[in-house]
């Protein structure tokens, strides 16, 4: 072996250095993110935990009350109504939205002419802010002049109290939820479907599998990681719905569309019940954590080997 | 022999023929059904947006007549100038652009730095830290929003540009994950070669890896722009003054009557149009990147 020249020794110096120096370098790379997480995420998360155990109006000195905030929430019927509404909203919008998106993505995959046009149209709501969407839909749901009630009266159907009746308001909010998530999920699923190898589909066709069977037996299992991604993100997003209900109904009428994040906001900033707001947010956290865990567990059996979260 | 084969052929051929004809008819009707469904779905998706556009040009009377007219008789451009006179729209626009740019640049830098370390460097606790970081994505915004408000108050950042930029600039778990997954797909030989030549990790990060990450960086930029531009909760909690308000918050205050006066439907639709138009325009021109970016995020960044 030829002797290493000084230049060569100098070259590649960093990578031959002791691992401590390399470790320091690596930590410097993650330092900005780490500081950000510490200050703007970890601190709030632990402070919320502290707050949840205090009686605090945000101004005077907080006093420790143990689980008192949780107890008073569990005794509060508004909490239960809100939890019920949020669960209904998620349970309605996530499956309907996902199935709908899956179906339309499959339609778009049929070598349609004008694919680009359809895809563009479906993405417009994705770039539109939830608040602007709420402004538009508040008017579409308008009792007297709204587009939907106008449309219904053409078929001689009496106008529906979209935003003034608790049940109809919840339905209205659910419809809007599906509408908002639809575009992004469709494009996500379409991208996944387009990645399914043509040869597989051809083989199935030759074997005589019908379109329906091909879709459920080949396409859906192959894109299951994306389906999982869509359901997990849709669930966490829907469970935290805020902007649309804040603007459309502000939780009303009669708590008919009260949602958890909105209630946290109201408890903290409208009623100065900071401790209760924090306790409520931790209940949300627990539910989201549990449901996501269950989704991952259940899907471990069904999602194929190319899992989303492999490292 | 021939006599035996012939009946078979006779039996088979007409069958094949009808099957083909049936297939064609079926295929045509199937295609028609596909298009009808697609058009209906597209209309449902797009009509609210179009309705906003056309209403923004109507008179108040036109907006509330029955049956509704789709297009205004005379486009009322005045509705738009009314928005400009009623609220400091250009200030809102400038603020929003500024916050979006600051946060996006911060995200791109911080996420890519962290992603490089997680994808390319070896250090103790790497996987543990990465998984903890990923798990933070499960923390609902409701948990952090109230203490963040108190924190910003303590920093004296409430109702300032600092609350709108600094907390968002330090990267995110989503962005780091997206970029890390993408970087894992880049052949390791590339940085090995640079390292043998004596390049520092910073050099490898900036000169070797970053240029190859453009698609993932574009995707992250798009998602960040969308998130910051359209965000409502954070500005709602942190801001009060007009001078720092964003477009979405300004729209909410304006249309919900926060500005004391009753706002007519066409004017609130004009305000909504002005709020969403910049992003929709950008989207039309950069569509290719949007779709690629979404597809990329769906593949977990690969």
End-to-end CA, chain B: 61
Partnered with residue B250 across adjacent β-strands are none
Calculate mean pLDDT across residues B19-42. 80
| CB–CB contact B295 A187 (8 Å) | yes
Distance from CA of B3 to the nearest CA of A (A): 31
Binned at pLDDT 50, 70 and 90, residue B12 comes out as: very low
- Chain B residues whose CB is inside 8 A of the A58 CB are 150
Rounded distance, CA A100 to CA A122, Å? 13
Which of A135, A191, A264, A290 is the best substitution to test chain B (most B C-beta atoms within 10 A)?
Answer: A135
pLDDT of residue A176: 94
* CA-CA-CA-CA torsion sign (B278, B279, B283, B284): negative
Reported as a single tens digit per residue, the pLDDT across A161-200 is 988 899 999 999 999 999 998 988 998 898 888 888 888 8
Is A6 among the domain residues? no
User: Over 80: is that where the pLDDT of A244 sits?
Assistant: yes
- Of A136-140, A202-206, B21-25, B290-294, highest mean pLDDT: A136-140
Cα A143 to chain centroid, rounded? 30
Count of Cβ atoms closer than 10 Å to residue B294 Cβ: 23
| CB–CB contact A261 B269 (8 Å) | no
- Of B23-32, B39-48, B197-206, highest mean pLDDT: B39-48
Distance from CA of B29 to the nearest CA of A (A): 14
pLDDT of residue B301: 42
Calculate mean pLDDT across residues B200-226. 90
Please name the member of B55, B123, B200 whose beta carbon is closest to the beta carbon of A26: B123
pLDDT of residue A133: 92
pLDDT of residue A13: 52
CATH code given to domain B80-298: 1.10.3720.10
- Chain A residues whose CB is inside 8 A of the B200 CB are 14
Average pLDDT, chain B: 85
CA distances from B206 to A178, B113, B197, B202 (A): 41, 9, 15, 6
Reported as a single tens digit per residue, the pLDDT across B247-269 is 999 999 888 754 455 678 888 89
Calculate mean pLDDT across residues B97-124. 94
Binned at pLDDT 50, 70 and 90, residue A306 comes out as: very low
The CATH number linked to A264 is 1.10.3720.10
Q: Report the percentage of chain B scoring pLDDT > 70.
A: 89
Please name the member of B121, B130, B145 whose beta carbon is closest to the beta carbon of A22: B121
| CB–CB contact B294 A184 (8 Å) | yes
| CB–CB contact B51 A147 (8 Å) | yes
| CB–CB contact B143 A285 (8 Å) | yes
The more confidently predicted of residues B102 and B75 is: B102
Domain ranges of chain B: 2-55, 80-298
pLDDT of residue B261: 56
pLDDT of residue A4: 52
Rounded distance, CA B57 to CA A266, Å? 36
- Domain of A255, in residue numbers: 76-302
Is A37 among the domain residues? no
- Chain A residues whose CB is inside 8 A of the B169 CB are 36
**A53: which 2 tokens?**
């155990």
Q: Report the percentage of chain B scoring pLDDT > 90.
A: 44
Rounded to 5 degrees, φ, ψ at A64 are: -70, 130
The more confidently predicted of residues A24 and B20 is: A24
Distance from CA of B2 to the nearest CA of A (A): 30
- Chain B residues whose CB is inside 8 A of the A140 CB are 48, 51
Calculate mean pLDDT across residues A259-273. 93
Distance from CA of B220 to the nearest CA of A (A): 14
Calculate mean pLDDT across residues A122-135. 90
Asked if A227 and A185 count as a contact pair (C-beta separation under 8 A), the reply is: no
Which of B89, B146, B154 is the best substitution to test chain A (most A C-beta atoms within 10 A)?
Answer: B146
Closest residue in chain A to residue B128, using alpha carbons only: A311
Calculate mean pLDDT across residues B217-237. 92
pLDDT of residue B15: 45
CA atoms within 13 A on the CB side of B209: 33
| CB–CB contact A132 B117 (8 Å) | no
| CB–CB contact B198 A10 (8 Å) | yes
**A209: which 2 tokens?**
């599998």
Number of domains in chain A: 1
- Chain B residues whose CB is inside 8 A of the A106 CB are none
User: Over 70: is that where the pLDDT of B299 sits?
Assistant: no
Is A51 among the domain residues? no
Q: What is the ipTM of this complex?
A: 0.86
Q: Report the percentage of chain A scoring pLDDT > 90.
A: 44
- Chain A residues whose CB is inside 8 A of the B178 CB are none
* CA-CA-CA-CA torsion sign (B225, B54, B50, A248): positive
| CB–CB contact B113 A282 (8 Å) | no
Binned at pLDDT 50, 70 and 90, residue A120 comes out as: confident
- Of A59-68, A138-147, B229-238, highest mean pLDDT: B229-238
| CB–CB contact A30 B118 (8 Å) | yes
Please name the member of B38, B129, B195 whose beta carbon is closest to the beta carbon of A107: B38
Partnered with residue A55 across adjacent β-strands are A63
pLDDT of residue B1: 37
Binned at pLDDT 50, 70 and 90, residue B146 comes out as: very high
Which of B62, B142, B152, B263 is the best substitution to test chain A (most A C-beta atoms within 10 A)?
Answer: B142
User: Over 70: is that where the pLDDT of A284 sits?
Assistant: yes
How many CB pairs (< 8 A) connect A and B?
299
- Of A80-84, A143-147, B222-226, highest mean pLDDT: A80-84
Is A149 among the domain residues? yes
Give the pTM: 0.86
| CB–CB contact B110 A265 (8 Å) | no
Binned at pLDDT 50, 70 and 90, residue A302 comes out as: low
**B237: which 2 tokens?**
């909690």
Rounded to 5 degrees, φ, ψ at A63 are: -125, 140
- In this predicted structure, which of A56-60, B1-5, B20-24, B82-86 has the lowest mean pLDDT? B1-5
User: Over 70: is that where the pLDDT of B157 sits?
Assistant: yes
Residue length of chain B = 302
Is A3 among the domain residues? no
């Amino acid at each position: 072996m030829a002797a290493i020249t000084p230049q060569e020794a100098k070259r590649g110096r960093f990578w031959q250095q002791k691992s401590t120096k390399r470790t320091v370098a690596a930590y410097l790379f993650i330092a900005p993110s780490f500081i950000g997480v510490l200050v703007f995420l970890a601190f709030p998360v632990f402070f919320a935990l502290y707050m949840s155990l205090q009686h605090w109006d945000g101004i005077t000195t907080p006093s420790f009350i143990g689980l008192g905030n949780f107890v008073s929430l569990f005794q509060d019927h508004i909490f239960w109504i809100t939890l019920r509404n949020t669960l209904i909203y998620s349970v309605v919008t996530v499956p309907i939205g996902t199935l709908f998106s899956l179906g339309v993505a499959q339609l778009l995959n049929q070598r349609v002419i004008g694919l680009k046009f359809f895809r563009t149209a479906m993405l417009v709501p994705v770039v539109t802010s939830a608040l602007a969407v709420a402004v538009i839909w508040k008017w579409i749901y308008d009792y007297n002049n709204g587009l939907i009630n106008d449309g219904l009266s053409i078929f001689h159907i009496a106008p529906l109290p979209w935003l003034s009746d608790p049940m109809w308001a919840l339905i209205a909010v659910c419809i809007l939820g599906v509408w908002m998530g639809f575009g992004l999920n469709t494009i996500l699923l379409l991208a996944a479907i387009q990645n399914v190898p043509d040869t597989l589909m051809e083989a199935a066709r030759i074997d005589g599998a019908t379109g329906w069977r091909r879709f459920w037996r080949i396409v859906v299992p192959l894109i299951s990681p994306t389906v999982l991604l869509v359901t997990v993100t849709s669930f966490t997003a829907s469970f935290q719905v805020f902007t649309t209900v804040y603007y459309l109904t502000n939780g009303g009428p009669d708590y008919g569309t009260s949602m958890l994040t909105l209630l946290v906001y109201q408890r903290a900033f409208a009623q100065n019940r900071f401790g209760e707001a924090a306790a409520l947010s931790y209940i949300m956290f627990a539910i989201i954590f549990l449901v996501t865990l269950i989704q991952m567990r259940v899907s471990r059996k069904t999602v194929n080997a190319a899992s989303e979260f492999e490292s | 022999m021939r006599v035996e084969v012939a009946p078979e052929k006779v039996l088979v051929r007409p069958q094949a023929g009808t099957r083909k004809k049936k297939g064609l008819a079926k295929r045509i009707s199937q295609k028609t059904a596909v298009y009808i469904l697609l058009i209906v779905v597209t209309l449902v998706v797009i009509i609210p947006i179009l309705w906003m556009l056309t209403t923004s040009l109507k008179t108040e009377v036109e907006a509330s007549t029955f049956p509704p007219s789709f297009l205004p008789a005379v486009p009322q451009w005045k509705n738009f100038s009314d928005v400009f006179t009623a609220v400091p729209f250009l200030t809102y626009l400038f603020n929003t652009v500024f916050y979006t740019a600051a946060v996006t640049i911060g995200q791109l830098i911080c996420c890519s730095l962290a992603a490089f370390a997680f994808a390319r460097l070896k250090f103790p606790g790497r996987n543990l830290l990465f998984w903890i970081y990923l798990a933070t994505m499960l923390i609902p915004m409701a948990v952090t929003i109230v203490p963040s408000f108190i924190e910003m108050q303590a920093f004296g950042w409430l109702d300032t540009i600092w609350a709108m930029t600094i907390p968002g600039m330090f990267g995110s778990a989503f962005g780091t994950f997206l970029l890390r997954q993408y970087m894992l797909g880049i052949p390791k030989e590339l940085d090995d070669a640079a390292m043998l030549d004596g390049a520092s990790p910073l050099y490898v990060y900036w000169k070797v890896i970053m240029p190859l990450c453009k698609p993932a960086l574009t995707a992250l930029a798009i998602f960040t722009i969308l998130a910051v531009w359209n965000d409502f909760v954070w500005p709602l909690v942190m801001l009060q003054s007009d001078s720092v308000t964003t477009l979405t918050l300004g729209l909410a205050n304006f249309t919900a009557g926060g500005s004391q006066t009753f706002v007519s439907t066409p004017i609130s639709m004009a305000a909504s149009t002005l709020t969403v138009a910049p992003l929709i325009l950008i989207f039309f021109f950069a569509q290719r990147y949007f779709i690629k970016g979404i597809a990329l995020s769906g593949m977990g960044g690969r």
